[in-house]
Structures are given as structure tokens and as C-alpha cells.
A and B are shown apart, each in its own frame.
Chain A
Amino acid sequence: MMGSFGSPDLCMADLILVVAEQRDATPANQLAGGPGGKLNRVSFETVAAAQAIAKETGWAVEVVLPGSGIAGLAQELAAKAVGKVYALEADALAAYTSDAYVHALKTFIGEKQPKLVLFPHTYQVRDFAPRLALALDRTLISDATGYKFEGGALKFTRQMFQGKFAADVSFGGDAPWMATVQIGAFRGDQAFSSDGSVPVESVTAMVADGPARVTPHEVFQEAKQTVDLSQAEVIVAVGRGIKEQKNMVLAENLAAALGGEVAASRPICDNGWLPLERQIGSSGQTVAPKLYIALGVSGAIQHIVGMKGARTIVAINKDPEAPIFEIADVAVVGDLFQVVPALTEEIKKAKGS
């Protein structure tokens, strides 16, 4: 099927297009003397992924940044070794809406005809990228942790069944192929830098006219934090394996013996057993303590991104195949209701001596 990709004589460019992300570059913000927008640093992780794929395929890498008043941010991206950076600009792209993003990128990608389009798997991308892919009559592989290029075919690896399995997924249809890259799967600080000669081109975006269907308001944070878990040296994290609120005391006792803080996975905070500010993961806090003890936490990726930087990870879980064990230094396979009290006693003994 030709889909929306015009005449067959129009050759598909051997190009990987990275769609970068910025925040807060709204005119109001800039007028108010605000920072004038920030690049989402995970954009560099996607650049690193594109550079790695390019090394194997020989394809070129270019970057597009949608927004308004973003020339400076585009320059930051040009510090990386890519062929070109496009600042795709329109007033309607100042504050994010899926409608404006889909329309602008659909037109841009349609013109550029890249082989592959890569996005970071952010909340914003999750919101518009599936729709963009379908509008282009293409498919999107979401949340890839890696890729394989074998026999001229590109496959992406992704987690399935909450991390219990991984799968290699391939594209059945025509390019442009599209994929989102899991946060933390590639190292942004390892993206190759340029020699300073990467051109930045400003492009006026095509955006839909007609009344907006979605009206976005300012981004905000709920309440001021009263604890800063990012400074904690020891964290005891509780997952749904704790079963009941009254059992939380097990974790509190262990944390007290270690002189550490108690934290939790999302469902525990959803239940109100701990305040939201003690939630670890993509929608909560990111921490890197010396010691992280996970009690009855399965190890979903949204939890792991918040704690995999911990120096030593001890996981206690009754399921020998729990995904948390893949990143643990010490994997205790057992019932937390037996292991945790025993561990608390052992630690008290060790500290006492």
C-alpha cells in the first residue's frame, strides 16, 4: 500500500529522524522572563540510540524539535553528531496538544520520508505518537529497550508481561518505521558530540486550522515535598507483596534498624499507605541510595527507572522469576513475612556489635 507516501519514484531517504522533546517554551513563560523552555534530556538518549543504529545501517541521523521560540534549544541538540537539526516552529506548538503535534509532524515526516522515526517514550510521546503513526498509515513499536539489525531487517526488543519476558518485534509493512525508546535504555551522556558544524534549520510547521479540541493549562506539582528521598543513603521499598497496611510496620522496623527511609511502589501509594512523595518510579521519585531493599516489589519498568541507580540492590520476593531480580545484587527468593523480621534482627545484631 502506498498510503500517504505519494509517488513511487520519490525515493525513501536513508535517514533516521529523531523527534526531540522540549517543555515550557511557551510565549507566556518567555515573556515572564522564564527559562524559555528546556530540552527534555531524554532526547539525547534517543539521539544515542539513533547513532548506534546508524553505525550498523549506514543511515544518516537528523533531529527535529517541535515547538515555538526554540532556536536556542535546537542549537543544544546540534552539539551532537547528527546531520542536521530542524526547529519545527508554529505558535500552535508552544503548549503541547496532540492535534497540533500530529498535524505538524505528519506533514514534516511526509516530506522527509525517513526510513525510521525514533522518539523517547515520554508521557507526551505516548500521547501523540500512536495517532501520528496511524495518520501516516504506519505502525509504531512502543517502549523499545534495544534493537537488532540482522540480514537487512530491523527489529526492536521490548518488554512484555510486565518485564517477565522480552520480545523481538519486527515491522511487517513499509517504511517509515516508527519506534519509541524506553527511558534509560540508552545513555544520553554517551551520544557522540559534533565538531560544532551541525546546521540548524528553522521550518514553519503546518498546523490544523479550526477550533482547538483540547485546551492545555499550566503544568503543576501537587504539594511541596517534605522529604527528599534523593538524599537518603538507605531506602526500604515496599511493594504489593506486603498485602495489608498493618504489615507496613515490618518495613518501618527494617528501615529503622538500618537508619533508612521507607518508600514504596505505586500501588502502595495509590492505596494511601504511604504519601505520594515516597513513591519511587517514573511518576514518582528517582533515587540512588547506597542500599535499596525491595520487599515484594515485582520490578515493573516504571518502578525500576526510579531506583536502578542504587549502588546495592537487595530484592526479597517469593517469585523466583520476578523481574526485580534481573537488576538485583542480592536476590532472596522467599516469603517476606518470614525473611524481613529475621533480617531486621540480624541487622540489629550486626550494628550492635
Chain B
Amino acid sequence: MKILVCIKQVPQKDAPLRLNPEGTWIRDDVSWETNEPDAYALEEALRQKEKHGGEVAVITAGPARSQQVLREALAKGADRAIHLEDDRFAQMDAANTARALAAAIEGENFDLIVTGLQSDDFGAAQTGVLLAEILGIPHATIIIGIEKTDTGLKLKRELEAGHYQHIEMTMPAVLTIQSGINKLRYATLIGIKQAKMKPMRKVAWAEVEGKLSKSVQKIEKLYVPGSQKKTRKIEAPAGEAAKQVVEYLKETARVL
């Protein structure tokens, strides 16, 4: 199977985030990591390749710093990488992101494209589905099990409240992957060394610009949401904090 994994670089989970001066996005001076479900998508692609042979390519659209997520994927075992490198690739809506990705892989004919089910920053949960529409191939979302069959794929979809569904579909296809579908591997020292030798194709803005449209979503304002409740805030040494919580539970909430 020839598999493509779409990976986005997002701010690290614990990174303290601050607004940019325009109040439209966060300030860039944070540490970054691979979007969590994308790591599971990569792991799944590597496992499929180990079972059925073929190739795993990884792709990201973003500034120079985002090359790091591709390097990590190569170190874990991906065969090659594609980097749409430009600051502008990080400022588009999901449809344009999908258009850019589609333009960069024109003529490649992947059997399977996997993405994360949503990003931890904007979180539109759309890019993979839109990529399928642009490529004219079927898709399925929130996948937590993949089995290749003679005719295509047998998949396990997660549904709400502990429900699941099996579906079968033809290939080529796009799947969006849920975190927890597998156990992630770590990169080995040898893997990290080998990664340096693996091909990294750069795609410039000008190469795909003609395939993009106007971004039709606009972030007017980003802000810190207010508390929805009257919250009693306790910032004290552990012993003192514990006393205050117990007092609240006894006197105010009356649950003790």
C-alpha cells in the first residue's frame, strides 16, 4: 500500500499561550509538537506498511519550524517527506489547506491517505474530509480500527457514547484517525540517524498558489473565555487548600 500521512505542527500541550497583538492568533514563541491524533495516524500507516508492504510518505503545510514534525516521522520509520514550506500555509482555512495538500501530491496516486481527526489548535475537524472531496475519493472519519481486505478496507468507526460501527469501503480513500487506535512507538537512535538521509521534497507557495481560493473564514477576534460559574479559587499550600475544599464541601455544597 502506498500511504500518505498528513501531519500538523501545533503548540505543545503544556505551552503557555499568549495572544498576538492583533488578537487573531497566538504568539509564535512557544514550543511545538505533532498534533496528537496525527501521531496515531502515522503509527497506523507504519503498521499497515509492515503488514502489507509499500511505502509511507508524510506531508505538512507550514512554516520552516514545522519541518520538525516530518523529521520525527522519518525517524519513526516513514520513507519520505513533503514539506509545503511557507508562513502563509499556516494562515488558511481548512479548505485551502486541503487544496494545497492535494496540489502537492498531484499524480502521486496514494492508495490510502490518513489524517488526524482534528487539530488541537483550530480544531475544524475538516481537512481530511475536504481532501477526499477535492480528490474525488471516499472517506471515513473517527476511525479506530483498520483492516485491509481483498476488495478494500474494513474499518471500525467510533460513534457517540460507547457505540461503534463497522464499515467497508473501496480504495483509494481518506481516513481520519482517532487517538488511541494503537500504541505509539518511539523513534530509535538508528531511526534518527537514518532520517537524515531520507528524501524531503519542498513545495513552495508559488507552486500551489494557482490551486488555492480565497480563505472564506475569518477569525475576527480570539479571547480568553470567561468563567461560566461563580468559581471559588483556592491557591494555597496543599494542607491549607485541602482544609478549604473540605469546608466548602461541608458548609456550602453540603455533600459531606
Question: Do A and B come together as binding partners?
Answer: yes
**The one of A221, A312, A326 that contacts B225, using a Cβ cutoff of 8 Å:** A326
Contact A350 B17, beta carbon cutoff 8 Å: no
Query: Which B residues touch A311, using CB under 8 A?
Result: 253, 255
Stretch of A65-73, A130-138, A186-194, A245-253 contacting B (4+ beta carbons < 8 Å): A130-138
* Residue pair A139, B217 in contact (C-beta under 8 Å): yes
A276 x B162 contact (CB < 8 A): yes
Tell me if A57 counts as interface (CB < 8 A to partner B): no
Q: Is A267 an interface residue (CB 8 A)?
A: yes
Distance of A323 from chain B, by nearest CB (Å): 8
Contacts of B126 in A (CB 8 A): 130, 140, 142
Bound CA–CA A339/B159 (angstroms): 36
How far is it, in angstroms, between the C-alpha of A335 and the C-alpha of B241 when the chains are bound?
Answer: 11
Selected contact of A350 from candidates B11, B121, B129, B250, CB within 8 Å: B250
B26, B140, B238, B249: the one contacting A342 at CB < 8 Å is B238
B126 CB to nearest A CB, Å: 4
> Once the chains are docked, how many angstroms separate the CA of A347 from the CA of B219?
47
Contact of B162 among A216, A221, A345 (CB under 8 A): A221
Q: How distant is the Cα of A207 from the Cα of B87 in the complex, in angstroms?
A: 41
Interface string of B176-205 (1 = CB under 8 A from A): 000110000000000000000000000000
Query: When the two chains form the complex, which single residue of A162, A331, A345, A351 contacts B256, counting CB atoms closer than 8 Å?
Result: A351
1/0 per residue A335-353: CB within 8 Å of B?
A: 1001101110111011100
Q: Does A222 sit at the interface, judged by CB under 8 A?
A: yes
Could you say which of B50-58, B70-78, B105-113, B163-171 contacts chain A? B163-171
Check A326 against B226 for contact (C-beta < 8 Å): yes
> Is B225's CB under 8 angstroms from A331's CB?
no
Which chain A residue shows the least CB distance to B171?
A: A213
**Which residues of chain B from 125 to 179 have a CB within 8 Å of any chain A CB?**
125-126, 129-130, 132-134, 138-142, 157-170, 179
Q: Which of A144-172 contact B (CB under 8 A)?
A: 155, 159-172
Chain B nearest CB from A239 CB (Å) reads 11
B222 within 8 A of A: yes
Secondary structure type dominating chain B contacts: mixed
A266 and B17 within 8 A (CB):
no
Q: Are B229 and A134 in contact (CB under 8 A)?
A: no
Interface residues on B, range: 35 or more
Given A270-B180, A283-B161, answer yes or no on A334-B241 (Cβ-Cβ < 8 Å): yes
Which chain B residue shows the least CB distance to A131?
A: B133
User: In angstroms, how far is the closest chain B Cβ from the Cβ of A41?
Assistant: 12
Residues on A with C-beta less than 8 A from B163 are 219-221
**Minimum C-beta distance from A192 to chain B (A):** 24
On chain B, the residues within 8 Å of A161 by CB distance are 11, 17, 26, 120-121
* Least CB distance, B219 to chain A, in whole angstroms: 5
- Provide the residues of chain A in CB contact with B234, threshold 8 Å: 330-334
Q: Which of B94, B123, B129, B248 contacts A160, CB < 8 Å?
A: B123
Query: For the complex, would chain A's binding face be called helix, strand, loop or mixed by DSSP majority?
Result: mixed
Max count, chain A CB within 10 A of own CB: residue among B13, B222, B242, B245: B242
Measured between beta carbons, the chain B residues less than 8 angstroms from A346 are 242-243, 245-246
Contact B224 A325, beta carbon cutoff 8 Å: no
Q: Are B169 and A215 in contact (CB under 8 A)?
A: yes
Measured CB to CB, the closest approach of chain B to A237, in angstroms, equals 15
Chain A residue contacts of B219, Cβ below 8 A = 167-169
Complex contact B121–A172 (CB within 8 A) = no
A261 at the interface (CB under 8 A from B): no
Which residues between 78 and 116 of chain B lie within 8 Å of chain A, taking CB atoms?
93-95
B161, B218, B245, B253: the one within 8 Å of A284 (CB): B161
Say yes or no: A164 contacts B232, CB within 8 Å. Answer: no
Contacts of B95 in A (CB 8 A): 134, 139
Give bound CA distance, A45 to B144, whole Å: 28
In the bound complex, how far is the Cα of B219 from the Cα of A155, in angstroms? 9
The answer to whether the Cβ of B22 comes within 8 Å of any Cβ in the partner chain is no
- Known A-B contacts A312-B253, A332-B234; A134 and B138 likewise in contact (beta carbons under 8 Å): no
With a CB–CB cut-off of 8 A, which chain B residues contact A155? 220
**A214 in contact (CB, < 8 A):** yes
Asked if B139 contacts A98 (CB within 8 A), the reply is: yes
Cα A165 to Cα B168 in complex, Å, equals 38
Please name the residue on chain B nearest to A137 by beta carbon: B213
Q: Is the CB of B246 within 8 A of A131?
A: no
Tell me if A270 and B179 are in contact (CB < 8 A).
yes
Q: Among residues 113 to 149 in chain A, which have CB atoms less than 8 Å away from a CB atom of chain B?
A: 122-123, 126-128, 130-131, 134-135, 138-143
Q: A130-B124, A285-B161, A330-B245 are in contact. List 15 more A-B contacts (CB 8 A).
A: A127-B129, A131-B133, A139-B217, A142-B124, A162-B123, A164-B17, A167-B219, A172-B217, A276-B162, A327-B229, A331-B232, A342-B241, A345-B242, A346-B246, A350-B249
28 sample A-B contacts, Cβ–Cβ < 8 Å, listed by A number: A123-B142, A138-B216, A160-B122, A163-B225, A165-B17, A165-B223, A167-B223, A172-B215, A216-B167, A269-B180, A270-B180, A283-B161, A283-B162, A291-B253, A311-B253, A312-B253, A320-B235, A323-B225, A325-B231, A329-B253, A331-B231, A331-B233, A339-B242, A342-B238, A343-B242, A345-B242, A346-B242, A350-B249
- Complex A-B, nearest 10 residue pairs according to Cβ-Cβ distance, in ascending order: A270-B180, A173-B216, A342-B242, A338-B238, A130-B126, A213-B138, A312-B253, A172-B216, A130-B129, A343-B242
